[in-house]
Structure 1
């Protein structure tokens, strides 16, 4: 019991201090042995409550924990099995993972991992789902409900880069599919724990330089505005795929590569907002904020659904080198871990999913499409940005230091609440 009180003193300094006050020490000394023994069953019951797996469905899931996530694409025949991927992600301490489908072997592999998984409804399903809510219901019953709450499915993407493309029927179907997926989640009482969203490419913007001049394309806004109305009503963010690499590749003569790589450079000045940008990533996010503001959605948050840099490419793909990929991803990770906003929205902490976990050797298109991976197929790092990859642990998983316990658990709101309630109970019992 004394050891437990010492642990509480470390975790909850102010409340535990009361337990060690002179008055409470006197009460502890004066309490009879039989009285303390009678309190022990109740005491240990509440102690056990501290360590229950509250994340197993009791609390509402969060669509994004922290600021850093990774896209886990699988268009490859040489990458590790999903179970090994979970081990890799936990070793790298990456909490947020996004996949582009709802593969059951992947969802099952994440069972009990504590990782936050976003799954995807492919574009091929949207037209049917837009006209028939039961199709959306069937999809959720098949691909979501059976895996809850053991697998933390915190979000569902409805389509990918639909708007700004060439398929007008698909663009028309997107809003209906989103509404029907949300309605199905509501009927299953899952809408409060699973966030739905749709990632957009830069093709939805008419222009993005300087950031303050960015607006949505008129032909895109016809389909986008109802979606923004819906997401604004439900507090969902606007997700955009932001790739400084693609911008640099398209115009290497006029874009400073240091500006694209978060390296030292003169940056750009936006005269309308009187803001200075020293990197393209922030400028792209603020361009999205400017477009939303012009469209009337000042309060909507912008998050990045994809960003990355290719480590190899064809001869005409400027900047696709291992050095540049390492520089971009290292500096991006460092920037995200600072948990800061952008020049236009300094209080809106930037959150992003990096593309991608592995090089995908079967992806079509230019060579760069197959060289975005942070990790090799064997689980080792492609280049050093601070990850360790797969490696054996020298410590027993059952032995957790106070420092680790504080970092892993005490930062979670539910742990603080339960710990505080337990201390209040102890104080009451000891009076």
Structure 2
């Protein structure tokens, strides 16, 4: 075969570059999206089956556990999926000691790492919401001791943090005015953020637009195009995504303490497929809409108005519907999958085409974004929030149940960062601690539209089949 001429080589090189550019343009964008893997169900598949499913059939490359179950941690060995494990709330006082931290690492990290890629150890779950002064006082010392124990064992790449609900904030409207709760700002979060900055670990927050919406603000919570949004008078920014507003509220609180450079990781966020009968905005369609927005938002790398071009490692709540969870119906229906791995909706995270779970027909009014949410006992219009027993048997009350329409001033009430009067969640806690979510209840369901991501991916063979004739013609 004759050697191509210089002109032919130039054309060939140019064509090759064009092929590469086209392949990059049509390739799916890798996103920092993971999923929370809870286990409060009596019908869930074995951990090894779950790990194989995620690794082989989905694009999910990271999971967050609410405990350090050895069977689950071991199941992810060799899968390429990174795992965030959680030390139980009750372990915190012991973890605050050098001996206790070293023992925990020896028992819960050494047997599995690095075969299982443990990316971060979460020290408890939503500790500030527990009101337990022993846990709160030992939280930052436990983070220090655990990181020192990990480093001493040679596991320097494993980060250490602790998930918090948005209840750590006050003045959540507008985002520019937000700060950490008085007392906690100096005593807890300043030293915590100093630790996170020094170790390169993120501040983990659980952000749920679902708990901040009502019938009028559903388009804002779902970040629908052309929704009117909410103006922040302090910055002149109009937010058209409650999720972005929540993240910027956290950023503002951090900036007021001088730690705006610390990374933010979203430990939990999601939308249920079922809740209270007649509740506006809850079905597989809205759940798919929110998660599809979330994947696009996180994958775009555009950041938020106050944090442009930042990326946020984000974990969707949750992998499965969990039928043993207490509290409102929605609490058991945040899953992206049924226990048999049938997707509740399609957002393009499967490696092959899938059939979603069948859903019953619902009245058209159930999807009317202009309708009002169910009316509360105090006459306000908001998404219904119900009391949920905590893991220790106590009960978290909604503002209405506490005796009025206003949220209590206790640190255990979480502000809804957005245009809503509803109390936000307490966060999930599958590790046996004493924190619980306060969630709205049951609603209808509708078949979601097909994923846009699944319609925009072109096979490499198809691309090459089109491009190679062009190369030949120019050679």
Name the TM-score, length of structure 2 as normaliser: 0.65
Quote the Cα distance in structure 2 between the aligned partners of 1:92 and 1:339.
Answer: 21
Distance 1:94 1:125 in 2: 30
Give 2:51's match in structure 1, choosing from 78, 82, 86: 86
2:42 to 64, 69, 77: 77
Deviation at 1:269, TM superposition (A): 2.0
* Rounded Cα–Cα distance in structure 2 between residues aligned with 1:259 and 1:177: 38
Q: Are 1:207 and 1:215, in contact at CA under 8 Å, matched by a contact in 2?
A: yes
3-state DSSP of counterpart to 1:387: coil
Residue correspondence of structure 1 range 306-317 to structure 2 within 5 A: 306-315=268-277
In structure 2, C-alpha distance between the alignment counterparts of 1:133 and 1:361, rounded to whole Å: 39
How far, CA to CA, are the matches of 2:115 and 2:78 in structure 1? 5
Give, in angstroms, the shift of residue 228 of structure 1.
1.3
In 2, Cα distance between equivalents of 1:133 and 1:320 = 47
Cα-to-partner distance string for 1:69-117 (whole Å, 9 max, x where unaligned)? 1111111111111111112212111011111111111111111101111
Bigger mean CA deviation after superposition, 325-334 or 374-383? 325-334
Measured in 2, the distance between the counterparts of 1:82 and 1:99 equals: 12
Question: How far has the Cα of 1:304 moved from its partner?
Answer: 0.7
Alpha-carbon deviations, 1:215-269, whole Å to 9, x = none?
1101322222211121122222211100000111xxx25x510000121201122
In the alignment, the residues of structure 1 paired with residue 302 and residue 320 of structure 2 have an alpha-carbon distance, to the nearest angstrom, of 27
Cα distance in 2, alignment partners of residues 379 and 391 from structure 1: 13
1:196 aligned onto 2:160: yes
Q: Which runs of 5+ in 2 are unaligned?
A: 1-12, 18-29, 355-458, 462-475
Matched residues in 2 for 1:324 and 1:127: separation? Answer: 41
Note the C-alpha offset of 1:315: 4.5
What do residues 343-390 of structure 1 show as CA deviations (whole Å, max 9, x unaligned)? 111121232111000011111121111110001100110112223388
Q: Equivalent residue of 1:288, what SS?
A: helix
Deviations 1:312-349 (A, max 9, x none): 12349654332221211122122222232111111212
Q: How does 1:144-183 map to 2 (within 5 A)?
A: 144-183=109-148
Mapped to 2, the partners of 1:220 and 1:320 lie a distance apart of: 35
2:159 and 2:200 in contact (8 A); partners too: no
Is 1:256 aligned with 2:213? Answer: no
For the residues of structure 2 that align with 1:136 and 1:271, how far apart are their CA atoms? 46
- Distance in 2, matches of 1:66 and 1:187, equals 32
Matches within 5 A, 1:186-335: 186-191=151-156, 193-221=157-185, 222-248=187-213, 252=214, 255-264=216-225, 265-315=227-277, 319-335=281-297
Name the counterpart of 1:342.
304
SS at match of 1:362: coil
Q: Does 1:102 align with 2:68?
A: yes
Runs of 4+ in 1 over 6 A off after TM superposition: 389-392
1:118 positional shift: 0.9
SS of residue paired to 1:306? strand
Matched pairs, number: 329
SS of corresponding position for 1:377: coil
Residues 159 and 201 of structure 2 are in contact (CA less than 8 Å); yes or no, is this contact kept in structure 1?
yes
Q: Return closer, same or farther for 1:317/1:182 CA change in 2, 3 Å cut-off.
A: farther
CA contact (8 A) 1:276 1:343 kept: no
CA distance in 1, matches of 2:321, 2:351: 15
C-alpha contact 1:70 1:98 (8 A) present in aligned 2: yes
Check conservation: 2:60, 2:349, Cα contact below 8 A: no
Please say if residues 95 and 104 of structure 2, whose CA atoms lie closer than 8 Å, have aligned partners that are also in contact: no
The match for 2:336 is: 374
Distance 1:95 1:307 in 2: 17
Cα deviation, 1:199-227, whole Å, max 9, x if unaligned, reads 11011001211111111101322222211
Call closer, same or farther: CA 1:385–1:225 in 2, change over 3 Å: same
Whether contact under 8 Å (1:165, 1:203) holds in the other structure is no
Q: 1:119 aligns with which of 85, 98, 118?
A: 85
Superposed CA RMSD in Å reads 2.4
Deviations 1:12-69 (A, max 9, x none): x99x99xxxxxxxxxxxxxxxxxxxxxxxxxxxxxxxxxxxxxxxxxxxxxxx84211
Q: Is the 8 A contact 2:31 2:295 kept in 1?
A: no
1-side partners of 2:158 and 2:86: how far apart?
12
Q: Name the CA distance, whole Å, in 1 between partners of 2:352 and 2:101.
A: 38
Greater RCO (Cα-Cα under 8 Å, separation 6 or more):
2
CA deviation after TM superposition for structure 1 residue 403, in Å: 5.8
**More helix as a share of residues:** 1
